[in-house]
Amino acid sequence: DVKVTQSSRYLVKRTGEKVFLECVQDMDHENMFWYRQDPGLGLRLIYFSYDVKMKEKGDIPEGYSVSREKKERFSLILESASTNQTSMYLCASSIPGPYSNQPQHFGDGTRLSIL
């Protein structure tokens, strides 16, 4: 089974801090994704990566950056955390080949609170 592991289940940080959310997958997937989940809004894509050091902006990239130095690891960075970034963050991965019907596999999420 695919395993996507997010480093923290709950995280509390202060306004202005630099925050790192880590995600690791164990299935050699090329694609990795970061989503934000808010009530009534569903999941919204922040960034995704289709290869090491490659990234593409999603629908809501403002205030975030990402890093993918190794294939299995994809980090989401909040450069200067703000209270409106309090949310649930979900990481996902998928196999290469955009023509495949294979789904994305998700981690358990990190519930981040910015005080």
Q: Which of 47, 23, 48 is nearest to 109 (CA)?
A: 23
Of 18-26, 37-45, 61-69, 72-80: span binding another protein (CB under 8 A):
37-45
Of 16-24, 61-69, 79-87, 88-96: span binding another protein (CB under 8 A):
88-96
Q: Give the interface size with another protein as a residue count (CB under 8 A).
A: 24
- The residues, ordered by sequence, that sit 6+ positions from 57 with a Cβ below 8 Å of its Cβ are 47
| CB 15, min distance to another protein, A | 25
Considering the complex, state which of residue 17 and residue 59 has its C-beta at the smaller distance from another protein.
Answer: 59
User: Is residue 108 near another protein by the rule CB under 8 A?
Assistant: yes
- The residues, ordered by sequence, that sit 6+ positions from 107 with a Cβ below 8 Å of its Cβ are 4, 5, 6, 23, 90, 91, 92
Q: Which of 105, 79, 84 is nearest to 23 (CA)?
A: 105
User: Is residue 103 near another protein by the rule CB under 8 A?
Assistant: yes
What secondary structure letter does DSSP report for 59? S
Binding site for another protein (CB under 8 A): 31, 33, 35, 40-45, 48, 50, 58, 88, 90, 92, 94, 98-99, 101, 103-104, 106, 108-109
